[in-house]
Amino acid sequence: MSFKIAILVCFTLMCLVACTTYFLGKKVSKNFMKYIPVFSFGVGILFFYIKLSFISNYTNSFERITDMIAIIILLIVFSIALLEAVIIDIVENTEIFRKGFMVLRKAMKLVDVKKDQV
């Protein structure tokens, strides 16, 4: 499989996963919307890994090198997208985290007071 066809197939798969995740985000949960790039780049990485491991032609080393470069680029973009999604999730739920910490702090104070009274 040539590199141009592999890029086209990978891009098609990534778009298909992005559309599926978008429609799931619309119908099921809005939380899926943040992870559209993560899922898409993950499928791209998986495609190139499978191509490199099983479909690749071992006589042509240039094809293996380009596949590895594509995997590395997709991994970098995948990790940036995952970090961005996690940061957005934390920023959106800061109030929930704050309430959880306050409840935990109050519970710890109550335990200390009960020990002093005994």
10-residue mean pLDDT series, the chain (118 residues): 82 90 86 86 90 72 83 94 89 72 67 55
Q: Could you tell me if 45 and 22 are in contact, meaning their C-beta atoms sit under 8 angstroms apart?
A: no
Q: Is residue 51 part of a domain?
A: yes
Q: Is residue 73 part of a domain?
A: yes
HSE-CB for 20 with a 13 A CA cutoff: 10
Range of the domain at 18: 3-93
Q: Could you tell me if 48 and 63 are in contact, meaning their C-beta atoms sit under 8 angstroms apart?
A: no
Q: Is residue 115 part of a domain?
A: no
Q: Is residue 48 part of a domain?
A: yes
Q: Is residue 54 part of a domain?
A: yes
At residue 48, the pLDDT reads 87
Number of domains the chain is built from: 1
Q: Is residue 77 part of a domain?
A: yes
At residue 77, the pLDDT reads 94
